[in-house]
Structures are given as C-alpha cells and as structure tokens.
C-alpha cells in the first residue's frame, strides 16, 4: 500500500490495528518479531510504540521503540526477550541488524511512516539496506505526506502492485486549523528578538512552542529569552535522549512556558495544553506550516499561531492561507504604548484577584501609616507602580514599521540572474546576488551546482547541519538550497550556481560538527 496522508489523519491506527492481528506471540524470541515500523525521529518512535501498546494491550502485544541516543545494551536485552512489533529510527535499526541483535526473518509487515521526512533527513541508503534485510514475502505499507519522485522510486522497488490511497488533505487541514487564530507580523530580521519579546508580553501564552530553523538559533534564542525573564527550554537534535526527555517532562508539567525547537526535534510531539505556536522563522513549505501550527488548538481548545515574517517573506502568507483554508491577520508589532497598556491591564486583573481573595489585614497597617500623610489614591498608585516596575530601555525603543517587499516578476527575476552571470563572466567586481526564491523548486528557476563535502554519517552529519552552516555563514535563505544526499564518508549539496564558489570559500573557512571539511565541486557522475 502507498498512502498519501498528512499528519493528524489517523495513520498510526490505520496500520497498527491490522498488524496486531498478524502477530505470533507463541514463537521463539528470535522469530517473534512480526512487524517493523520505521519512523524518522525518536519522539515519533516513542509515540507510535505507545499507541501500539495501547491498542494491543488486550492481546498482550509487546511493542518496543529503538532509537539512537538510548543505551544499546538495554535495547539488546529487550530484543533478546522477544518483541512483537519493533518501532525504529533507520540509523539505530541498521546498527542492530549489523550487530545481529535484530532478527527480521519472520517479519510479515513493514511500515514506513513519514517516508518523505526520512528521505529529507538523509536516510535513503539506510532504508534500502533495512528493506533488503526483510523477507521478500511481506506486506509493505508506505505513508508519506507527499508523493515526490524519491517516494515513487522506493515504491517501485519495494512495493508489489500497491493500492494507492490519497486522503483529502484539504479537508483535514481545514478541520485541523479551524479553531486556530493565525496572525503574522512583518518584522526586519534585526528586530525579530525584540518583537518576539513584546508579542509574548502582550499575548501572555500559558504554554508555547517557538520554531526556529537551526540548532544554533534555538540555543541563542533560548538563552536570550531566559535572560529576559521567560522560562524557556531548547529542544533540538544536538541534545542527548536523556536531555530531551527531561525538557519534555518539564514542558508537559508546565514548569517551563516556552519550548524553543527545530522542526525535526518537534516531530511526533503531542502536548495538549499548548496555547500558542510561534514561527520565529517562516517555514519553507506549506506542509511544514500546517504541521507546526497543528501543535496548538488540540482537543477542541482555541489556539493562536504567530508568524514573524521578514518583508521579503510576505508572499509565503498567501500560500499558508491556501494550505489551511483560513485567513492570516497581518498585525502591527505592539508599540511601547501597547505594551504599557497591556501590563497595566494585567496588573489590574491581578489586583482584582488579590482583593477578592481577601486576607489583607497584615498589609492594612502599611496603608494606615501612610494615610495621614498621603491621599489613598496616591498610595494605591505607588503600590501598583512598585508592582509593575519600570520599562526597560529596550521596551522604550519603537520597532520600525515595515511594508512587505515588492514581489518580483518571474521574467524580471530570470533577466536579473542572466545579467549577474554575464557580469560574473566578464570579471565584474560586484558579487552575484544571493537568490532567496524558490524553496524546493529553486532548481527550476536557477542553475544549480553540486558541491562535495568530505564528511557524512560517520561524523553524524545531518542535512540540518549543512543547511545551518550555509545559511548562518552566508545570510542565505534556506529555500535557495537544493537537494542534500548524505553517505557514510561524504555528502552532496545543491546550491545556486551563481554562489557556488562563495559557498566553497565560506565553508572551507568554517567548521561543521566541530570539524573542518574538504569542500569542492562534485566531480562524480550520478
């Protein structure tokens, strides 16, 4: 089966309930594993395992998640005791296969959940190796949010005359985002942090997830927000599993109010009480936007989705509206006056609660001691001023109003690119403009160059590391970067031809995963 279905359409139940009826619990431990489910992240592995355990509790089914970052010894012991369903990330599954601690000879069902995400993360070779280790006679089910050419290739190789099912994603998206208020603020990058702090002060979220593009940005934003008095936690792939578990435990217990995360790290999270989602960086695809904002408005609750868009990113908002079937309000960043008014409003509400709660006798003597000298209204006003506090210097600075950047006509874009190439060929001292248009389809608008990087999975390099290195060092929009392929000892990344040499020079002078890598144009024919 090949199914195109977005997150939230009931995929886990769709494959879990049928496979539970094909288990062989009486088989010897080495032959007991009847189903293998492959997922992109540790969080999703735990979520799927929990669901299968819940569905199969009456059958005595044993479901076990195996993923990187957890002790290998404990996983080996559990596999030796026997498990019915293994839910695994590709890297750790392949480790167990090579160690001969995961036996797949009796597997009857293989499920690839969120296959497009696994391919985006560079797991293509791992998936091929794992599928090759499973029996030829099995049922294979592939679930993906998109049916990209790479998905079709895997389907053609490993699925036999598959049934093709497409869930009406438009109806799902509309229902999923119906209770979510969507707001966007047009903010220059230099003022994003200040704007975020001000918006959070006005919105007062009970619990919020803030999405960033890179690990570095997650760490920097978390540190800055904590310095401004918020309780923020970072969540990204650079944390150990124990660290991630502790972060999520605190967030679920509401001891931290903000979770600053990358898209990959937040995959599979299911927290019911999230009141706000903030896109600190605009996602590069409508699917990612829908996936992000779906973290709020759960279980019938109202939710708010906030996007901080730079002027040139304004065009993305229309595609997000089409994807969600809703409207996005373009609002003005709160002014200093708005912020002060909101703080006074919150102070008034807090004072009302204190008065209604009573038990004020211990403090009446303070008021009585000042009443002979000052007016009661002045005493009360002084108490409010003391409680609210003075605004900081950053609060007093107004954030400049911005207007969306004018969108370029495609024909003018192409002519500008041709002009840059001519100038570059003629030895013009003016460096070519770095393109920022196009997202996944950038290659269709610009000629792309393939670059070779001398590091891969052996150095634990992931696509996000490469994208982060290029975007951070060159101030380049991530949507301009093309395909990324990662092998054991090297990687290939596509970048616009006009800036390929700049990327080579820049990355040669920096580090990825703490190491300087050889980088050059790819000379192989693929």
Give pLDDT tens digits along the chain (526 positions): 988 876 667 888 999 999 998 888 788 888 889 999 999 888 788 889 989 999 998 888 999 999 887 888 999 999 999 999 999 999 999 999 999 999 999 999 999 998 877 877 778 888 889 999 999 899 999 988 777 677 778 888 888 888 888 876 555 555 555 678 999 999 888 888 889 988 998 888 889 999 998 888 899 999 989 888 889 999 987 888 788 888 988 998 888 899 999 887 676 666 778 899 999 999 877 878 888 888 887 655 778 999 999 888 887 898 888 888 888 999 888 877 776 777 777 777 778 877 888 888 888 888 888 888 888 888 888 877 776 655 444 445 666 655 554 444 444 444 544 444 444 444 433 333 344 433 333 333 457 889 989 888 888 888 878 887 887 777 676 777 888 888 878 889 988 888 888 889 888 888 887 788 889 998 764 4
**For the chain, where do the domains classified as CATH 3.30.70.330 start and end?**
410-521
Give the CA angle between residues 172, 178, 180 to the nearest 5°: 120
Helix axes 316-324, 169-177, angle to 10 degrees: 100
Helix axes 500-508, 463-474, angle to 10 degrees: 100
Rounded Cα–Cα distance for residues 470 and 275 (Å): 33
Q: Is-contact 39 87, C-beta < 8 A? A: yes
pTM of the model: 0.51
**Where does residue 358 rank: exposed (0-12), middle (13-18), buried (19+ CB within 10 A)?**
exposed
Residue-level pLDDT at 100: 92
Q: Where are the alpha helices (DSSP H) in 294-435?
A: 316-324, 336-357, 361-371, 376-388, 393-396, 410-425
Report the relative pairing of strands 448-453 and 519-521 from DSSP bridges.
antiparallel
Residue-level pLDDT at 85: 95
The position carrying tokens 């303070």 is: 366
CB atoms within 10 A of CB 172: 18
Residue-level pLDDT at 178: 60
Q: Is-contact 495 449, C-beta < 8 A? A: yes
In CATH terms, 410-521 corresponds, of 3.30.70.330, 3.40.50.300, 3.20.20.150, 3.40.1160.10, to 3.30.70.330
Rounded Cα–Cα distance for residues 184 and 318 (Å): 11
Rounded Cα–Cα distance for residues 343 and 335 (Å): 12
Residue-level pLDDT at 268: 61
Residue-level pLDDT at 439: 37
**For the chain, where do the domains classified as CATH 3.40.50.300 start and end?**
2-167, 171-335
- Superfamily covering domain 171-335: P-loop containing nucleotide triphosphate hydrolases (3.40.50.300)
What CATH fold (topology level) applies to the domain 2-167?
Rossmann fold (3.40.50)
- Tally of CA atoms within 13 A in the half-sphere of 475 that contains its CB: 4
């Amino acid at each position: 089966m090949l199914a195109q279905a977005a997150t939230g359409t009931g995929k886990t139940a769709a494959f879990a309930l049928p496979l539970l009826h094909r288990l062989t619990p009486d088989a010897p431990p080495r032959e007991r594993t009847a189903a293998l489910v492959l997922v992109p992240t540790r969080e999703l592995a735990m979520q799927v395992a929990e669901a299968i355990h819940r569905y199969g509790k009456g059958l005595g089914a044993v479901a076990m998640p195996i993923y990187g970052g957890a002790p290998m010894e404990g996983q080996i012991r559990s596999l030796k005791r026997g498990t019915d369903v293994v839910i695994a990330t590709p890297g750790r599954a392949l480790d167990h296969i090579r160690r001969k601690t995961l036996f797949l000879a009796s597997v009857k069902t293989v499920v690839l959940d969120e296959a497009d995400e696994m391919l985006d993360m560079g797991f293509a070779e791992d998936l091929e190796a794992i599928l090759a280790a499973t029996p030829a006679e099995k049922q294979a089910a592939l679930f993906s949010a998109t049916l990209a050419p790479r998905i079709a290739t895997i389907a053609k190789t490993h699925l036999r005359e598959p049934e093709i099912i497409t869930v009406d994603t438009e109806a799902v998206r509309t229902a999923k985002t119906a209770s979510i208020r969507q707001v966007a603020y047009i903010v220059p990058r230099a003022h994003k942090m200040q704007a975020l702090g001000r918006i959070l002060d006005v919105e007062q979220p009970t619990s919020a997830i803030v999405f960033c593009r890179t690990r570095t940005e997650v760490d920097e934003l978390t540190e800055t927000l904590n310095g401004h008095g918020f309780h923020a936690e970072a969540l990204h792939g650079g944390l150990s599993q124990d660290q991630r578990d502790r972060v999520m435990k605190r967030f679920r217990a509401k001891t931290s109010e903000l979770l600053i995360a990358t898209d990959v790290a937040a995959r599979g999270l299911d927290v019911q009480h999230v009141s706000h989602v903030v896109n600190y960086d605009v996602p590069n695809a409508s699917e990612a936007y829908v996936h992000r904002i779906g973290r709020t408005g759960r279980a019938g609750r109202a939710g708010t989705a906030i996007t901080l868009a730079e002027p040139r990113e304004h065009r993305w908002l229309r595609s997000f509206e089409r994807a969600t079937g809703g409207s996005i309000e373009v609002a003005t960043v709160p002014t200093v006056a708005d912020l002060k008014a909101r703080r006074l409003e919150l102070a008034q509400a807090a004072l009302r609660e204190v008065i209604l709660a009573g038990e004020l006798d211990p403090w009446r003597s303070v008021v009585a001691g000042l009443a002979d000298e000052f007016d009661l209204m002045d005493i009360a006003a002084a108490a409010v001023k003391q409680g609210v506090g003075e605004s900081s210097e950053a609060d007093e600075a107004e954030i400049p109003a911005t207007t969306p950047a004018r969108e370029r006509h495609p024909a003018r874009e192409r002519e500008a690119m041709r002009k840059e190439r001519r100038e570059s060929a003629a030895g013009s001292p003016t460096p070519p403009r770095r393109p920022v248009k196009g997202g996944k389809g950038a290659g269709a608008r610009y000629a792309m160059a393939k670059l070779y990087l001398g590091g891969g999975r052996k150095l634990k390099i992931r696509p996000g590391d490469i994208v982060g290195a290029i975007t951070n060092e060159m101030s380049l929009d991530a949507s301009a970067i093309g395909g990324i392929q990662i092998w054991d000892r090297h990687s290939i990344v596509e970048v616009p031809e006009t800036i390929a040499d700049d990327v080579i020079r820049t990355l040669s002078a920096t580090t990825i995963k703490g190491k300087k890598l050889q980088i050059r144009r790819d000379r192989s024919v693929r």
